[in-house]
Amino acid sequence: MIVSCLRALLSHWRRNPVQLFAYLAGLALATALWSGVQAINAEARASYDAAATTLGEGQYDLLIPWQGDRIPLDDYISLRRSGWLVSPVIVGRLDDIQLVGIDLVTSATGLGTGNVTSVPLALASETLLANEDTAQKLGPLVNVTVDASIAPGMAVGDIGLVQRLLGRDDLSHLVLLPDQSLGQPDLSVIVPSLRIQRAQQVTSISQLTNSFHLNLTAFGLLSFAVGLFIVHSTIGLAFEQRRGMIRTLRSLGVPLRILLTLIAIEMLTLAAIGAGFGIVLGYLIAAFLLPDVAATLRGLYGAEISGTLELRASWWVSGLLLALVGTAAALSSRIWQIAKMPLLASVRPRAWVIATASRFRLQSIIAVSLLSATILLGLFVKGLVAGFALLGCLLIGAALALPALAASILTLLQRYTTAPVWTWFWADTRQQLPGLSLALMALLLAVSANIGVSTMVSSFRLTFVSFLDQRLAPELFVQVETKDQSIALAAFLDLRKIEVLPLSKTQVSITNKPVALYGVRVGPTYRNNWVFLDETDGAWDLVAHDTAVVVNEQLARRAGIWVDDLVQVAPDLALPIAAVVGDYGNPQGQVIVSENLFQNLHPDLYPSQFGIRTTEAPALRAQLVNTADIDNNAIIDQASIKALSLEVFERTFVVTAALNILTLGVASFAILMSLLTLADLRVPQLAPVWALGLTRQRLGWLELLRAVLLAAIVVVCAIPLGLTLAWVLLTIINVEAFGWQLPMYLFPLEYVQLGGFALVAAFLAAMWPAIRLMRTPPSSLLRVFASER
């Protein structure tokens, strides 16, 4: 019985292959973008972890210099000879590969860790360890042993070898080993130029890149939601059409429980197959996007991620589970209906087409309550979770409100029409709304999410570009390595009578968080270029007089302080905040004081970076190299920094644009599938109109027009929704997640373009059903009258 029952159930798909395709493809699409995005995120996280492990970041306390990033070998020896158990590390770049040199003998995972007999021959073999990609790049330079566990873009080897490759004889930092010995003297007595950086104070690269991954995840989730709309509607249709079969089966004596179990197994198995396709598709999407994502992350955060994708259980299992849970949710209400259906219920295919006004009313009520919740959340609740709840309420509320809104627009249009064909057209469109509503909701979500996300990304770009202009006002930047160089350069520039912006920098701890303290020379460049988020009158004057500080937005928001509040700059010095400055993309807090004050607080430190205002950058650069003995590599001109930063954004845009197209594609697929599944049901409705004299061609064109018109209504609704979404992302989510707020800019042309895409997508989606309609044999239209059900 079970087998024949199952065969009966499956015959439905054989007779409706398009429905089967819609079901499988809906699930595949839902799973694809989600798992693709998760695959990228998983790959990136694995790379960050590998990098942290390779560098020992976050595992051990480190000794780092108060200033600069170099430690003389003698300091290391002094520390060891006084009982400080530290192990040296050198980090440097060889082309675009980060070389990490460790002392294999003293390192925390070196000889002291035990099983020495399994320890292979590395010291004598003079080899670097790197993953396959990096090994190929290092090529003939040096012996390389391939080790997949090494972070991408990094190579690890013995400190002696790495020093030789980098042409250096110093160290970058010292790892403070976990077990120290008795009788250790104070660090400040042995090497006062070093300080301890606690493991937990390190800002990890994964923290830095969170915002980027959040973006990707949002896209993935969105497309998943759209895919589930497709699944939901397909399941609905399939169940309506199978009412007759179910009634027959039950009349033949199939117990309800067996029938329900079989249906659940059937649908979930198909779901698993669809999700399987989706995972394969997701892998392809991820592999396609990964190079651009990798380039973005490298440029934006200096984070290296692997260029090759691994099949990690974390993403494909989550994709599969989500797809199954989503299907089960859509399935449960239908199964509930069957369970409650009287044995001999009417088989009249009510279909979803006959959704009543009462369903619209219910949807509208839910929509209104969700949108009210959105407003309440926005006004009264703080926090990241509330921010996401707000987003959820907004999007679902708006989607649910769409059919009712569209219906009233259509009613309005119908009222102003007198021609009979158009009156029929509007009425017929309205009558189709329930069947198309899920697809339209999907389109609404896709378009508004695209508007929201591109507004956010574009706003970020505009803000960042003007921020770069603000911060990169000096035409030349010079980096010095030693105090003598710093003094000599300052004297050299003083003679030139041009504006110089020396920058001193160190790490301090404010409210137990590491904060960068900067000493600046207040001058015209700061006064004219820096744009504050908030300030007191004469902010720069106060800073110049050592009576106030400027802090960045991150510190202000994190510590809950704002203009006029006090900041503990040093143990015995608290100064009021004169201004808060936007500092985009930087996770760390900053306090800016005058150079005098900085010098008083940290007399041993010297300015290590100089910004120079000049109209003759190339000439001055030549002078610096020839006369002031500055290495040409230590001078960077503004244009090249800007170009580099902007290139990063272009990469980000490639990724965003690709995701935009993919989500729109998913949405138009939803429209196509809805129209196709509706097409057969609509023959009885169209036959009378045809009989009244409208040609099949005319009817086909009207179908196309209808799709485009509905899409236009959706686009009109999507623009305010997308902008609201962008506003929530910029002013609520961003601040909660990353500590800074982005100003919002509008890009009307982009929205018009996106709207155009949506209309084209709807047109394309409607084309096939329309063509099918145009080619419907008159005989099938006539049959409607012959065989009235």
Partner 1 sequence: MNVKVIVFLFLWPFGVLAQGFSGLGTGGDGFTMPKPQPAFSFPADHGPHPEYRIEWWYITANLNSPDGTTYGLQWTLFRTALAPGEALGWQSPQIWFGHASVTTPDQHFATERFARGGIGQAGVEASPFRAWIDEWALQGADFDLMNLTANGPDFGYDMLLQATGPLVLHGDKGYSVKSAEGQASYYYSQPFFKIGGTLKLPIGDIEVTGDAWLDREWSSQPLSDDQTGWDWFSLSFDSGAKLMGFQLRQTDGSLYSSSTWIGSDGATTSYADGAFGATPLSTSLIEGKDVPTSWRVTLPDQGVDVFVKAMNPDAWMGLSIPYWEGPVNVSGSHTGQGYLEMTGYE
Q: Can residue 703 be called a binding residue for partner 1 (CB under 8 A)?
A: no
Residue in 224, 316, 232, 221 with CA at minimum distance from that of residue 276: 316
Q: Can residue 186 be called a binding residue for partner 1 (CB under 8 A)?
A: no
| Shortest Å distance, C-beta 145 to partner 1 | 8
Q: Can you tell me the distance from the alpha carbon of 315 to that of 155, in angstroms, rounded to the nearest whole number?
A: 28
Kindly tell me which residue out of 103, 292, 475, 595 binds partner 1, with binding defined by CB under 8 A. Answer: 103
| Shortest Å distance, C-beta 83 to partner 1 | 4
Residue in 457, 568, 436, 461 with CA at minimum distance from that of residue 508: 568
Write b or e for each residue in 223-234: b if 16 or more Cβ atoms lie within 10 A of its Cβ, otherwise e: bbbbbbbbbbbb
Helix (H, G, I), strand (E, B), or coil: what is residue 518?
strand
Question: What is the DSSP secondary structure assignment for residue 290, as one 8-state letter?
Answer: H
Of the pair 43, 158, the CB lying nearest partner 1 is at 158
Question: Do the Cβ atoms of 548 and 577 come closer than 8 Å?
Answer: yes
718: exposed, middle or buried (Cβ count in 10 Å: 0-12, 13-18, 19+): buried
Q: Can residue 143 be called a binding residue for partner 1 (CB under 8 A)?
A: no
Q: Can residue 104 be called a binding residue for partner 1 (CB under 8 A)?
A: yes
Only segment of 12-20, 176-184, 680-688, 775-783 that touches partner 1 (CB under 8 A):
176-184
Q: Which residue has the tokens 């199954």?
A: 324
Which H, E and C letters describe 75-90, residue by residue?
HHHHHHHCCCCEEEEE
Name beta bridge partners: 593: 519
Count of residues touching partner 1 (by CB under 8 A): 49
Q: Can residue 310 be called a binding residue for partner 1 (CB under 8 A)?
A: no
Q: Which residue has the tokens 């989706």?
A: 278
| Shortest Å distance, C-beta 563 to partner 1 | 47
Q: Can you tell me the distance from the alpha carbon of 387 to that of 377, in angstroms, rounded to the nearest whole number?
A: 8
| Shortest Å distance, C-beta 446 to partner 1 | 43
| Shortest Å distance, C-beta 167 to partner 1 | 14
| Shortest Å distance, C-beta 108 to partner 1 | 8
User: Which helix (H) or strand (E) element contains residue 500?
Assistant: strand 500-510
CA 622 from chain centre, in angstroms, equals 43
Of the pair 118, 200, the CB lying nearest partner 1 is at 118
Only segment of 118-126, 204-212, 434-442, 677-685 that touches partner 1 (CB under 8 A):
118-126
Helix (H, G, I), strand (E, B), or coil: what is residue 563?
coil
Residue in 645, 571, 639 with CA at minimum distance from that of residue 601: 571
Kindly tell me which residue out of 124, 313, 344, 419 binds partner 1, with binding defined by CB under 8 A. Answer: 124
Only segment of 121-129, 208-216, 274-282, 303-311 that touches partner 1 (CB under 8 A):
121-129
Kindly tell me which residue out of 14, 95, 139, 181 binds partner 1, with binding defined by CB under 8 A. Answer: 181
Only segment of 144-152, 416-424, 559-567, 728-736 that touches partner 1 (CB under 8 A):
144-152
CA 235 from chain centre, in angstroms, equals 31
The pairing of strands 154-158 and 97-102 is parallel
Of the pair 83, 538, the CB lying nearest partner 1 is at 83
| Shortest Å distance, C-beta 188 to partner 1 | 17
Q: Can residue 749 be called a binding residue for partner 1 (CB under 8 A)?
A: no
Helix ranges restricted to H, 119-158: 132-138
Residues 146-175, one symbol each (x = binds partner 1 by CB under 8 A, - = not), give: -x-xx-----x-xxx--x-----x------
Q: Which residue has the tokens 């003083």?
A: 494
Q: Can residue 54 be called a binding residue for partner 1 (CB under 8 A)?
A: yes
Joined tokens for residue 167: 């042409």
Question: Do the Cβ atoms of 100 and 55 come closer than 8 Å?
Answer: yes
Q: Can residue 183 be called a binding residue for partner 1 (CB under 8 A)?
A: yes
Of the pair 182, 495, the CB lying nearest partner 1 is at 182
Only segment of 178-186, 194-202, 253-261, 507-515 that touches partner 1 (CB under 8 A):
178-186
CA dist 685 → 240, 678, 689, 787 (Å): 18, 11, 8, 14
| Shortest Å distance, C-beta 133 to partner 1 | 16
| Shortest Å distance, C-beta 183 to partner 1 | 5
Q: Can residue 129 be called a binding residue for partner 1 (CB under 8 A)?
A: yes
Side-chain-side CA neighbours of residue 365 (13 Å): 5
Kindly tell me which residue out of 14, 15, 17, 114 binds partner 1, with binding defined by CB under 8 A. Answer: 114
Q: Can residue 379 be called a binding residue for partner 1 (CB under 8 A)?
A: no
| Shortest Å distance, C-beta 519 to partner 1 | 36
Of the pair 123, 760, the CB lying nearest partner 1 is at 123
Kindly tell me which residue out of 1, 2, 96, 113 binds partner 1, with binding defined by CB under 8 A. Answer: 113
Backbone angles phi, psi at 622, to 5 degrees: -60, -40
Q: Can you tell me the distance from the alpha carbon of 646 to that of 653, in angstroms, rounded to the nearest whole number?
A: 11
| Shortest Å distance, C-beta 612 to partner 1 | 38
| Shortest Å distance, C-beta 194 to partner 1 | 17
Of the pair 111, 357, the CB lying nearest partner 1 is at 111
Q: Can residue 62 be called a binding residue for partner 1 (CB under 8 A)?
A: no
Of the pair 73, 639, the CB lying nearest partner 1 is at 73
Of the pair 175, 218, the CB lying nearest partner 1 is at 175
| Shortest Å distance, C-beta 139 to partner 1 | 20
Q: Which amino acid is at 736?
A: E
Q: Can residue 112 be called a binding residue for partner 1 (CB under 8 A)?
A: yes
Q: Can you tell me the distance from the alpha carbon of 53 to that of 117, in angstroms, rounded to the nearest whole number?
A: 23
**Which residues inside 66-85 make contact with partner 1, applying CB under 8 A?**
73, 76-77, 80-83, 85
Name beta bridge partners: 506: 517
Residue in 642, 302, 303, 645 with CA at minimum distance from that of residue 477: 642
Only segment of 48-56, 240-248, 447-455, 560-568 that touches partner 1 (CB under 8 A):
48-56
Q: Can you tell me the distance from the alpha carbon of 375 to that of 105, in angstroms, rounded to the nearest whole number?
A: 62
Sign of the torsion angle spanned by Cα atoms 102, 108, 111, 115:
negative
Question: Do the Cβ atoms of 129 and 156 come closer than 8 Å?
Answer: yes
Q: Can residue 106 be called a binding residue for partner 1 (CB under 8 A)?
A: yes
Q: Can you tell me the distance from the alpha carbon of 290 to that of 616, in angstroms, rounded to the nearest whole number?
A: 41
CA dist 4 → 249, 259, 268, 273 (Å): 10, 11, 19, 22
Only segment of 122-130, 267-275, 609-617, 666-674 that touches partner 1 (CB under 8 A):
122-130
Residues found in the chain? 789
Query: How large is the greatest C-alpha to C-alpha distance in the chain, in angstroms?
Result: 104
Helix ranges restricted to H, 57-209: 73-81, 132-138, 159-166, 187-190, 205-208
| Shortest Å distance, C-beta 352 to partner 1 | 57
Kindly tell me which residue out of 17, 115, 257, 779 binds partner 1, with binding defined by CB under 8 A. Answer: 115
Only segment of 177-185, 366-374, 523-531, 616-624 that touches partner 1 (CB under 8 A):
177-185
| Shortest Å distance, C-beta 438 to partner 1 | 50
Only segment of 110-118, 324-332, 703-711, 718-726 that touches partner 1 (CB under 8 A):
110-118
List interacting residues with partner 1 (CB under 8 A).
50, 53-54, 73, 76-77, 80-83, 85, 102-107, 109-124, 129, 145, 147, 149-150, 156, 158-160, 163, 169, 179-183
